[in-house]
Amino acid sequence: MRIAVTGRTGQVVQSLLARAGAAGITVIPVGRPELDLAQPGSAQQALGAASPDCIVNAAAYTAVDRAETEPELALRINGAGAGAVAAAAAALSVPLIQLSTDYVFDGMAPRPWREDDPTAPLGAYGRSKLAGEDAVLASGADWTILRTAWVYSPYGGNFVKTMLRLAETRDEVGVVSDQLGSPTSALDLADAIIAVAKALVARPGDASLHGVFHAAGTGEASWADLAEAVFAASAALGGPSTTVRRIATIDYPTPARRPSNSRLDCSLLAQRHGLRLPLWQESAQICVATLLAQSRS
């Protein structure tokens, strides 16, 4: 099976490439200059050249804070760009997996978010990703949307890598403790994407496999919890570690408002696809071990 994935260097693309061999599939990254979601007209030709059995739209504008000053660009890439990828999937008659985010919610619910909860993004990034969901829904494509949250991996820039870097030079790191989420390894997410793609290709008439699903690490944590887990795992392997000073969101102002509750209820994915991502603590330890091994090689 051939999966075309938008982008070249992102965490999900790199994780799909890392998992492809063991899964017995071929992953074809399709990115700039052939495919530029800021220029949506390039999508169909670029994706068609990959001759895919399934398309994964993993490319996105992800600079959450910068989106507040570049809302039009974020909307063009995450909204119109997603619509163009979906239109290409429809024209090619192949299923589409669109990646989305917890930022489509306002974070005010007292429990993990379900797929049918009302969306109400707090900022430009969330609005652009919700626009992408709407464009996919209206495209006529054979679509499945996977919303995820708090993604980290051995690739690219992410929270886990930042914490390990800071631990090398700081005696203490202030980390927000009043935002809750579902930390997600991009490698675990890649496994889930591959499983969903295989099911969509093998059972094209099964309506239960389609729709909006939440796909995030099992369990919940604050950013401070995740940081402490990273430092504990690193210390156990002789790597850098430091002390976490728990702070409130108000003590770490950012241009974009973050949802205070980003926890995702992933039971529908388990029910329909038989998939449940590993405990976030286990995957965080694996990621830290991988990063330390890379730094020592």
Residues in CB range of 185: below 8 A, 6 or more apart? 151, 152, 153, 217, 277, 278, 280, 283, 284, 286, 287
Q: Indicate the Cα dihedral angle 198, 203, 205, 207, nearest 10°.
A: -60
What is the predicted pLDDT for the residue at 41?
82
Instruction: Supply the DSSP string of 66-97, one letter for each residue.
Output: GGGT-HHHHHIIIIIHHHHHHHHHHHHT--EE
Q: What pLDDT does 80 receive? A: 95
61 assigned to active site? no
Residue type at 51 in one-letter notation:
S
Between the alpha carbon of residue 67 and those of residues 129, 147, 181, 259, the distances in Å are: 11, 19, 21, 16
Contact 124, 71 (CB under 8 A): yes
Mean pLDDT of successive 10-residue stretches along the chain, which has 297 residues? 96 97 96 88 90 96 95 96 96 97 97 98 97 96 97 96 97 97 98 98 94 98 98 98 97 93 98 97 98 92
Please report, as a single letter, which amino acid is at residue 250. I
List % helix, strand, coil for the chain (3-state, nearest 5). Answer: 45, 20, 35
What pLDDT does residue 171 have?
94
Whether the CB-CB separation of 12 and 58 falls below 8 Å is answered with: yes
User: What is the CATH architecture assignment of 2-153+185-217+263-277?
Assistant: 3-Layer(aba) Sandwich (3.40)
Strands in 109-193 per DSSP E: 143-148, 151-152, 172-176, 180-181, 184-185
- What is the pTM (predicted TM-score) of this model? 0.96
Distance between CA atoms of 89 and 87, rounded to whole angstroms? 5
Annotated catalytic residue, options 125, 152, 155, 252: 125
